């Protein structure tokens, strides 16, 4: 923000967007050289603009996170049904314009780190709000611990996507639409079944677990 030349910003932004694409395509072990090649510039220029690879990565993180927050905020009003999939169904509509961003998010979740944690916190907050609203409306079952459930559901749905990607490695990491569509195709029915009915027919299991917890550890409340 302290750069003297006004043209800087445009180049920085272009470089940053290219970096996001390459990170999404090749993973975070992608080299500065690869990014520079993809942008049609020299490796030195990339470092010249961002100081280091780490700072470049950090700027990609910030940008992706910021845009994701914007998009999520905009789509929060829309549908309350598909949130069991972490907003994937909503995402599929706009997938073509910012596919790299979505894949970048997947890779961040997989790689861990601070940015992933912030993203998850954000998603968990949204989920909790949505669930609480659903409980009031009557579409969602109440939970003994709304906060814990929301976090668990986010972990479950995001995690299922991560593991699915391991089970079925995308032939082309550049095609976010294809990745998400094939995932939804595989899980839509079982996920809905489980979300609506659960898996266990024996309801006493819940009592068993609650009793187990009561005696092994002090309850969180």
The Cα 216–Cα 97 span in angstroms is 50
The Cα 58–Cα 111 span in angstroms is 14
Cα angle: 104, vertex 169, 95; to 5 degrees: 40
For residue 139, state whether it binds DNA (rule: CB under 7 A). no
Measured from the CB atom, the residue of 53 and 132 that comes closer to DNA is 53
Measured from the CB atom, the residue of 2 and 216 that comes closer to DNA is 2
Q: Which does 201 bind (CB under 5 to 8 A by kind): its own copies, DNA, none?
A: its own copies
Q: Which stretch binds DNA (CB under 7 A): 36-44, 58-66, 78-86, 137-145?
A: 36-44
CA distances from 29 to 21, 54, 125 (A): 13, 11, 30
Q: Which stretch binds DNA (CB under 7 A): 49-57, 120-128, 147-155, 177-185?
A: 49-57
DSSP three-state, residue 86: coil
- Smallest gap from Cβ 44 to DNA, in A, equals 3
* Sign, CA torsion 211/212/213/217: positive
Interface residues with DNA (CB under 7 A)?
Answer: 3-9, 11, 31-33, 40-45, 47-49, 51-54
């Amino acid at each position: 923000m302290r750069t003297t030349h006004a043209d800087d910003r445009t180049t920085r932004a272009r470089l940053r967007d290219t970096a996001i694409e390459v990170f999404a395509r090749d993973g975070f072990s992608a080299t500065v050289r690869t990014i520079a090649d993809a942008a049609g510039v020299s490796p030195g220029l990339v470092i010249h603009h961002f100081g280091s690879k780490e700072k470049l990565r950090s700027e990609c993180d910030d940008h992706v996170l910021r845009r994701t927050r914007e998009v999520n905020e905009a789509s929060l009003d829309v549908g309350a049904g598909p949130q069991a999939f972490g907003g994937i169904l909503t995402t599929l509509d706009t997938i073509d314009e910012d596919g790299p961003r979505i894949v970048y998010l997947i890779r961040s979740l997989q790689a861990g780190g601070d940015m992933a944690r912030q993203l998850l916190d954000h998603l968990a907050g949204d989920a909790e709000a949505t669930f609480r609203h659903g409980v009031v409306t009557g579409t969602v079952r109440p939970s003994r611990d709304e906060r814990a459930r929301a976090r668990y559901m986010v972990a479950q749905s995001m995690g299922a996507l991560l593991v699915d990607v391991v089970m079925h490695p995308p032939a082309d990491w550049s095609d976010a639409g294809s990745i998400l569509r094939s995932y939804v195709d595989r899980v839509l029915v079982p996920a809905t079944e489980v979300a609506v009915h659960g898996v266990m027919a024996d309801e006493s299991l819940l009592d068993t677990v609650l009793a187990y917890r009561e005696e092994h550890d002090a309850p969180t409340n």
